[in-house]
Structure 1
């Protein structure tokens, strides 16, 4: 059973979803307007309804194509990051088959990667490179999975090659490699701490539906997002080296946020 608070939130979101899905389908089907505008507005509304309070520091990509390397804590990250600006995500292929969430991912023009196929990384790189050359912003959760909200996993560099592939074209626009850290720091105005992170973090073998119900029934959640400085990147750049550099930048701001430092 859902609590009164959860029912009220669902009731507020139903018309948003009912209007947003066909509107975004029409935008993608007929090329009406910017394909990222409706998802951006949708995520901002969802954050407001769920009581997600964002503190953002640093400078986002300023209208330039960007490969954004972020850590990953929860399914909530999609809405929190998606509320910052028009962008798309790189997602594992099984998400495409999830009820409702899969539809949302498709409407946001996510790049799906099938990790069971050897050629999956190459295919995803080609798609990401094409999108970057068109001037888009793409979010890559560089850990490859969700963490527990208290520590970062090592960043993977394979898909960073997409940005390098895009730069191999002499006519391609300048591409920014942007670190972005996301840290959930308070719940009901109180510090989450290590013990409280599972209330927000979604990882391991956690079931999605109970976690979703808990978020709907819960009070305000404060999240800190920190943009790092753009990392110099061109067709000759070592992808492993820049991935390590992005990881260090994200790790530093992530730890600072958890310790309550700006």
Structure 2
């Protein structure tokens, strides 16, 4: 996808209005029906868009071995996550193991489970010993998906050091309720957002620029549809109220989208207002 291409974003927003209204708008804008997406194409587009790191977790939550294999090969996936993928651990609601065979595209080239060191004092001891950002990251990498309840209980009993808390909080698989306990102040949340840790609703409402946010959601309809539905639920009322079936409002949106620097709700509201003038 060209970095200036706005069709994915417009198509995503059009999916939020009635199908017959969307067909009329597409005709007015000269946007044909999209070609069917494949997982491989969608994840390639997300890489180009530099989507927030949380999308990797949203993909894993599908509990689909094929999707897990795609996540495994992403550059931003750390050894802790790769280890859990290879162990077949579910990230969504599945109850059983999800066997994933990973190879490098050549015969006899399997990926061994990454060697993730654990402190001599054990998982919790290593976290409590973290006194630098580096040692916090090393200790946090030892946490496997089944370990999160123990980590949460240890933090409840006695708060973990700040370096360990931050390193755990920026793990994409850190439970949201634990991350909230680590820091609920808006400044802390902004730091997580800058680190690519987002929830679908916040991403849809606060992410910038809209061109990229909407494209990520469009390609996400293939890779993490449940999470995209959460984002869509927060945008649909505004899109229907401000744009609806008004082709002029959609034409304004298509003109503004390439360079609009605000948020998606601001873009939609502005487009509707301009069309009403």
TM-score normalised to the size of structure 2? 0.26
Name the structure with the higher strand share. Answer: 1
Name the structure with the higher helix share. Answer: 2
Larger radius of gyration: 2
